Structure 1
């Protein structure tokens, strides 16, 4: 809405340069927080530490994210999505092959690719949250949200698979969701790729096999 000064309407001024500068600052803060949370642990990283690593003042971090748990949530969101755009994972272009799949096998192959991509970005921060959840009620709430969201993702995949054919578990959809929920854990990527040295292609092929074994009925 226009402001009025001296009887003349004036438009609210929004500087594109200022907005881009603020966005770069947020990105620097999130990047610094992600590195410090994973390297030091959540509990041992303060907002002052993040501010110093990002090259900004502590009040800037607080103003941008409100609290350390708020910053942690943003780090997680960007690790899952790949950027700071407000677009859900299931609506991202790289998730599209899951929706476009016309066979159960193609669906699970596509979903294994999604899990591999997310694992590469989020395995470290997921482990950080899991460890911190034992010491912080606020982080425990974040961890429970992650578990619920992973299960929601598993449910979408199982329901789509059921539309394309029978499941190994028959009508026991919840048991099928249990199996996919176990497979979409970024900790698997952390264990096999980051710790054991598997390539991403080896992991993706292995995970595809696990998902197929978990969901598809035995061939006649």
Structure 2
């Protein structure tokens, strides 16, 4: 009886583990989705872990056990909004970023990157605005906002570096100035202003971003 019970127990643990892992992942997804919704609707400071737990239909200790703190949960919300899912794959290696690397002309690269800006803006514009507003509420959020700006600039630098590898080499301004231009226009705030507030179509927005980067980099005359 004891031996059989032990063997059966080992079997249940072995076969139930993937199920438990999937359940845990779904719980985390529900928590992140609820947090994103409430952070945007109410603001970071006005949203408690208890509020998020209620919205996600889980216990408050579950939220704390999964993320440890509200600030850590916000970081997960930001990461999920940027990437589109919880897979541990950098943005620059995602399939929807691939056309940027595949572009053979500056125009093609910037059109593809404008599409990336549209995708990220659609997912993350409201999240970015919420973090910007909350950045004055403490050093953790201020650091998060600075990290988000740094990461945007790193993304802009990758695009500029790729442009410089093309043949013939594009007539770009100096590296820092070129990165500044792309960094300015990859800001999800433009999507929020033009698409969400002013009602531009996504197609018009994407074309405008591509044109502005092209012009700002001095490629009109190349």
Give the structure-1-normalised TM-score: 0.92
Confirm whether residue 22 of structure 1 aligns to residue 7 of structure 2: no
- What is the total number of aligned residue pairs between the two structures? 211
- Counterpart residue number, 1:66: 68
- Counterpart residue number, 1:79: 81
1:167 and 1:45 mapped to 2: Cα distance?
Answer: 49
What are the within-5 Å matches in structure 2 for residues 27-42 of structure 1? 27-42=29-44
Q: Which string of whole-angstrom CA distances, capped at 9 and with x for unpartnered residues, describes residues 115-145 of structure 1?
A: 0000000000000000000112111110010
What are the within-5 Å matches in structure 2 for residues 198-209 of structure 1? 198-209=200-211
3-state SS of 1:133 partner: helix
2:153 and 2:113 mapped to 1: Cα distance?
Answer: 14
What are the within-5 Å matches in structure 2 for residues 24-173 of structure 1? 24-164=26-166, 165-169=169-173, 172-173=174-175
- Counterpart residue number, 1:187: 189
1:88 and 1:129 mapped to 2: Cα distance?
Answer: 21
2:55 and 2:90 mapped to 1: Cα distance?
Answer: 29
Indicate the RMSD between aligned Cα atoms, in angstroms.
1.6
2:214 and 2:186 mapped to 1: Cα distance?
Answer: 13
3-state SS of 1:86 partner: coil
2:143 and 2:18 mapped to 1: Cα distance?
Answer: 36
8 Å CA contact retained: 1:168, 1:217? yes
8 Å CA contact retained: 2:43, 2:130? yes
Q: Which has the higher helix share?
A: 2
Change (3 A) 1:216 1:104: farther
Q: Where does structure 1 lack aligned partners over 5 or more consecutive residues?
A: 1-5
2:218 and 2:203 mapped to 1: Cα distance?
Answer: 22
8 Å CA contact retained: 2:214, 2:220? no
1:167 and 1:94 mapped to 2: Cα distance?
Answer: 27
3-state SS of 1:42 partner: coil
Give the structure-2-normalised TM-score: 0.91
Q: Where does structure 2 lack aligned partners over 5 or more consecutive residues?
A: 1-5
